[in-house]
Chains A and B, each alone.
Chain A
């Protein structure tokens, strides 16, 4: 208690943050009971009737469930595999740029798509790759056959991954750029003295310098493996690509939200939360065992 009193002003500074998390992240936990109820918004949570495991049963008994899990995990996995390294590489490259105006221009251009909603960005993507989009217009004028990119199951997942990367890599690089500024410049000088070139500097100084950050972000991203990007997929998909693009969230949107079956939507949210918790604990454990700095 004496210690708390001693650091009282720091605790006072911490209080609004704790309050924020309490109000927005912990108190809403009571809503989990909706997963076990036939939730009727106008009766309220407690007045709505209990239905036991029915909502979970509805989800797991769906013949589409295996397909939904497969699509969700595959899209997330591809996103992680191909999307995770991009902001790191971009930050490394940007860190080497010495012309400030060029660096800032590139940063601004790459940050910009992050601030667009998927509705707008999806519209731009469609205008580029759609049946009458710029790509097919150019191909047509050059005498080539048009490419079916917008409604092709074979390229849909690639399209989701690539457009997702294009939209977010600039923004995601900010945290790595911040981490890069924390590296002691003397270390680079030491490598130079030892005769190391740029690549050696990156390999031996820069990458180890941001490794804890990479590990932490990897853990956090693993936790969202069952979030394959609802809004993006809803905007980019069409009936042709349902077999490869229908994910847990789009299904819940149709069967849960559109049909006012809020209990089902909550049950799926709870299921995803449990999986995410297992993943995040496992990943943190593995990373701690490898000697890296972990989340806890």
Chain B
């Protein structure tokens, strides 16, 4: 074979190109992301006042989104925020249903974003990561930026302080009293002569009547799991997805606390829902459909008569319903009395709903805290309301947030939520702002009813009795495996799998307890001496 010099050069060039491409593919894409190096600490000390001299604070940010995952970088809202806050956020969003999985995958690489959302140190996984030095200790920044510190009650900071006195986590504090309302089509109930149900039994009879009258109508649907039927679960006298008093124990000061699936109420609630499913009264996509908001869509499009959902969706649901069917009337069921006489109410959430960790490797923590501080001080107005005419309007001197449907595409929540940080405690429940949401959505007349029902639901509480900072050693070691091996298929499938019976439920619980579940319960009860019902 005779090669010419030209051929040889060609081969060398080709190999060179391939190597370059390989190296380019292997190299980190960090260079493409906004670098932290430029900001230094200068911007923080000068404040985020948009001063021309200060370099913008740059950081990467990963957070879950509850709304539509339609965020596009470089939108006009983002530009305005960056300008006013003197910041450049490289935001990455993950739909909330996939968040826990994806963030754990990101963490497994050991290369985490500058700021990201997580459950916090009450989850043993994150506590261990804190101890491994993955996250930044924030004590000094809390002292330096008082508005950030004041955004969270001292009692919560105390809970988050570890055994060495260090704090690593910024919680997204929330009002724990967030009722799950059961909305219903008042006009359909009236047409069929059904009085507003006061008990679970009456609700069941109403659903049967709706089904009988219109077989195509879905009598009841809900956002899946606790979020949807949270209001109804309380009528069975137990704290769903929580630890509560053992069967027959005193509710205010129990001697023993157990996970919800060991309570009679938990079991009867699941098999009541199973029966609804069997009778064709429960949405046949409940726990099967993968999209987060299928139930909401069914209700607002007139396909479902009753909807269980977080009360915060009220303005959106009612305003959409009015557009779909102007003659529709939406009511909110009162807390219902359960089969064993338990009065329904609320399952309070924790003192915070997730929060943020900051990477130990973050280059400009001062800049980041300066930006957070700005959000709670000079930037507070922009954070809460956004841009006049685009995200809010002014009526009678009051700022009213626009309903998402009334906003231009570039200013919808999908473009705002990805850039939001935490909400300060002072705004966790502000009735003026809640009323403004209803008025902004054009359904102000429904606000009084919502507030009345809010108070009614909050009268009876079924809280989490377990102290989240206490870990059972066996649970840390084997808890996930024991739950997966013995309980998950029965608990997750009980409502929708026809083949799972009450005997199967009991048998699974029995096996779980024998395999180690009982030891976990004993350890928790031994370690947690104070089991008094938390008050909110």
The interface of chain A, by Cβ under 8 A from chain B, is 9, 12-13, 15-16, 19-20, 23, 40-44, 58, 62-64, 122-123, 126, 130-132, 150-151, 153, 235, 238-240, 242-243, 246, 251, 253-255, 257-262
Contact between B489 and A239 (Cβ–Cβ < 8 Å)? yes
Contact between B496 and A13 (Cβ–Cβ < 8 Å)? no
Can you list the 6 inter-chain pairs with the closest CB atoms, starting with the nearest?
Answer: A239-B492, A239-B493, A42-B134, A16-B18, A42-B132, A41-B110
Closest chain-B Cβ to A107's Cβ sits at a distance in Å of: 29
Looking at chain B's contact residues, is the secondary structure mostly helix, strand, loop, or mixed? helix
Contact between A255 and B15 (Cβ–Cβ < 8 Å)? no
Tell whether A44 pairs with B110 under 8 Å between CB atoms, given A242-B493, A243-B489, A258-B104. Answer: yes
A132-B285, A235-B290, A240-B493 given; 8 more Cβ-contact pairs under 8 Å: A9-B3, A20-B22, A63-B515, A130-B289, A153-B499, A257-B101, A257-B104, A261-B480
Among B15, B105, B128, B515, the residue within 8 A (CB) of A15 is B15
Contact between B108 and A42 (Cβ–Cβ < 8 Å)? no
A-B contact count (CB 8 A): 112
Closest chain-B Cβ to A44's Cβ sits at a distance in Å of: 7
Tell whether A260 pairs with B107 under 8 Å between CB atoms, given A63-B486, A255-B481. Answer: yes
> Among residues 431 to 488 in chain B, which have CB atoms less than 8 Å away from a CB atom of chain A?
480-481, 484-486, 488
Among B108, B289, B481, the residue within 8 A (CB) of A257 is B108
Contact between B290 and A126 (Cβ–Cβ < 8 Å)? yes
Tell me if B12 counts as interface (CB < 8 A to partner A): yes
Closest chain-B Cβ to A68's Cβ sits at a distance in Å of: 10
Query: What are 14 contact pairs spanning A and B, CB under 8 A?
Result: A16-B19, A40-B129, A41-B108, A63-B485, A130-B289, A132-B285, A150-B288, A151-B496, A153-B497, A238-B287, A240-B497, A242-B489, A251-B484, A259-B480
Contact between A240 and B496 (Cβ–Cβ < 8 Å)? yes
Contact between B497 and A239 (Cβ–Cβ < 8 Å)? yes
Residue with the greatest number of chain B CB neighbours at <10 A, chosen from A44, A131, A243, A260: A260
Tell me if B125 counts as interface (CB < 8 A to partner A): yes
Contact between A13 and B285 (Cβ–Cβ < 8 Å)? no
Q: CA A43 – CA B108 in complex, angstroms? A: 11
Closest chain-A Cβ to B437's Cβ sits at a distance in Å of: 31
Tell me if B8 counts as interface (CB < 8 A to partner A): yes
Closest chain-B Cβ to A5's Cβ sits at a distance in Å of: 14
Contact between A13 and B290 (Cβ–Cβ < 8 Å)? no
Tell whether A40 pairs with B493 under 8 Å between CB atoms, given A13-B14, A58-B481, A260-B107. Answer: no
Which residue on A lies nearest to B286, using beta carbons?
A: A131
Which residue on B lies nearest to A238, using beta carbons?
A: B288
Tell whether A260 pairs with B125 under 8 Å between CB atoms, given A58-B481, A242-B488. Answer: yes
Tell me if B192 counts as interface (CB < 8 A to partner A): no
Among B22, B125, B285, B499, the residue within 8 A (CB) of A130 is B285
Closest chain-A Cβ to B316's Cβ sits at a distance in Å of: 22
Closest chain-B Cβ to A57's Cβ sits at a distance in Å of: 11
Contact between A42 and B288 (Cβ–Cβ < 8 Å)? no
Tell me if B11 counts as interface (CB < 8 A to partner A): yes
Closest chain-B Cβ to A39's Cβ sits at a distance in Å of: 8
Tell me if B100 counts as interface (CB < 8 A to partner A): yes
Which residue on B lies nearest to A17, using beta carbons?
A: B18
Contact between A259 and B497 (Cβ–Cβ < 8 Å)? no
Contact between A255 and B19 (Cβ–Cβ < 8 Å)? no
B12-54 contact mask (Cβ, 8 Å, vs A): 1 or 0: 1011001100100010000000000000000000000000000
Q: Which residues of A contact B288 (CB under 8 A)?
A: 130-131, 150-151, 238, 240
Q: Which residues of A contact B289 (CB under 8 A)?
A: 126, 130
> Among residues 245 to 283 in chain B, which have CB atoms less than 8 Å away from a CB atom of chain A?
none
Q: CA A131 – CA B110 in complex, angstroms? A: 42
Q: Which residues of B contact A64 (CB under 8 A)?
A: 484-485
Q: Which residues of A contact B22 (CB under 8 A)?
A: 16, 19-20, 23
> Among residues 67 to 86 in chain B, which have CB atoms less than 8 Å away from a CB atom of chain A?
none
Q: Which residues of A contact B341 (CB under 8 A)?
A: none
Tell whether A262 pairs with B128 under 8 Å between CB atoms, given A9-B11, A150-B288. Answer: no
Tell whether A262 pairs with B129 under 8 Å between CB atoms, given A19-B22, A239-B492. Answer: no
Tell me if B389 counts as interface (CB < 8 A to partner A): no
Contact between B11 and A13 (Cβ–Cβ < 8 Å)? yes
Q: CA A257 – CA B109 in complex, angstroms? A: 12
Closest chain-B Cβ to A70's Cβ sits at a distance in Å of: 14
Q: Which residues of A contact B11 (CB under 8 A)?
A: 9, 12-13
Tell me if B312 counts as interface (CB < 8 A to partner A): no
Contact between B290 and A123 (Cβ–Cβ < 8 Å)? yes
Q: CA A229 – CA B26 in complex, angstroms? A: 27
Q: Which residues of A contact B423 (CB under 8 A)?
A: none
Tell me if B133 counts as interface (CB < 8 A to partner A): yes
Contact between B101 and A239 (Cβ–Cβ < 8 Å)? no
Q: Which residues of B contact A240 (CB under 8 A)?
A: 288, 493, 496-497
Q: CA A126 – CA B290 in complex, angstroms? A: 9
Closest chain-A Cβ to B64's Cβ sits at a distance in Å of: 15
Q: CA A258 – CA B104 in complex, angstroms? A: 6
Tell me if B60 counts as interface (CB < 8 A to partner A): no
Tell me if B284 counts as interface (CB < 8 A to partner A): yes
Q: Which residues of B contact A44 (CB under 8 A)?
A: 110
Which residue on B lies nearest to A63, using beta carbons?
A: B485
Tell whether A258 pairs with B101 under 8 Å between CB atoms, given A9-B11, A246-B489. Answer: yes
Closest chain-A Cβ to B45's Cβ sits at a distance in Å of: 29
Q: Which residues of B contact A239 (CB under 8 A)?
A: 287, 489, 492-493, 496-497
Residue with the greatest number of chain B CB neighbours at <10 A, chosen from A15, A41, A150, A257: A41
Q: CA A9 – CA B26 in complex, angstroms? A: 25
Closest chain-B Cβ to A239's Cβ sits at a distance in Å of: 4
Closest chain-B Cβ to A45's Cβ sits at a distance in Å of: 9
Q: CA A12 – CA B14 in complex, angstroms? A: 10
Q: Which residues of B contact A16 (CB under 8 A)?
A: 15, 18-19, 22
Q: Which residues of A contact B134 (CB under 8 A)?
A: 41-42
Closest chain-A Cβ to B515's Cβ sits at a distance in Å of: 8
Which residue on A lies nearest to B479, using beta carbons?
A: A259
Q: CA A237 – CA B22 in complex, angstroms? A: 38
Contact between A42 and B285 (Cβ–Cβ < 8 Å)? no
Contact between A255 and B484 (Cβ–Cβ < 8 Å)? yes
Contact between B125 and A259 (Cβ–Cβ < 8 Å)? yes
Contact between B480 and A41 (Cβ–Cβ < 8 Å)? no
Contact between B128 and A40 (Cβ–Cβ < 8 Å)? yes
Contact between A258 and B100 (Cβ–Cβ < 8 Å)? yes
Contact between A62 and B107 (Cβ–Cβ < 8 Å)? no
